[in-house]
């Protein structure tokens, strides 16, 4: 059965959202992040909560630019079906087993796949942190 990756349906494990949300709040209060974009703060929070992830600065601009029908970053539209499938499978792992499990699995792939996963997760994590605050 293929995973349903509709952005409105899936949610990450609550413990992941809580851990990242707490780190977001800590970073917001630091001088270097006071004027940062929310997506930059979430990316840095994920990086700090799950330090095994490496984030390339080249993908920072694409963080919130996603295709509307999928969790994949829009810049992946022209990527190979195999790359898209790898990232979608990793996203599914994040939703079912947690972000840490997904990142650990992504580390077994090329660095680009790890960066694509990170970009795909950032927007959804931001949304869930905001929902969790309410």
pLDDT one-digit tens code per residue, 64-80: 344 445 788 888 888 99
Res. 1: pLDDT tops 70: no
Averaged pLDDT, 84-89: 91
Averaged pLDDT, 114-121: 88
State the pLDDT at residue 55: 42
State the pLDDT at residue 125: 87
Res. 5: pLDDT tops 60: no
Token pair of 70 as six digits? 């999928």
Res. 57: pLDDT tops 50: no
Residue 52 — very low, low, confident or very high, per pLDDT cuts 50/70/90? low
Average pLDDT in the chain: 78
Averaged pLDDT, 26-30: 93
Q: Distance between CA atoms of 96 and 76, rounded to whole angstroms?
A: 23
Res. 62: pLDDT tops 50: no
Q: What angle do CA 50, 51, 53 make, to 5 degrees?
A: 85
């Amino acid at each position: 059965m293929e995973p349903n990756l509709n952005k409105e349906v899936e949610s990450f494990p609550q413990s992941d959202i809580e851990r990242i949300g707490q780190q977001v709040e800590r970073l917001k209060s630091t001088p270097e992040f006071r004027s940062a974009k929310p997506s930059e703060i979430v990316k840095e929070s994920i990086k700090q909560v799950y330090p095994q992830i490496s984030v390339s600065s080249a993908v920072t601009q694409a963080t919130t630019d996603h295709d509307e029908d999928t969790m994949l970053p829009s810049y992946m539209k022209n990527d190979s079906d195999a790359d898209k499938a790898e990232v979608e499978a990793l996203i599914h792992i994040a939703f079912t087993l947690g972000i840490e499990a997904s990142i650990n699995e992504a580390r077994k792939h090329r660095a680009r796949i790890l960066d694509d996963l990170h970009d795909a997760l950032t927007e959804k994590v931001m949304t869930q942190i905001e929902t969790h605050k309410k």
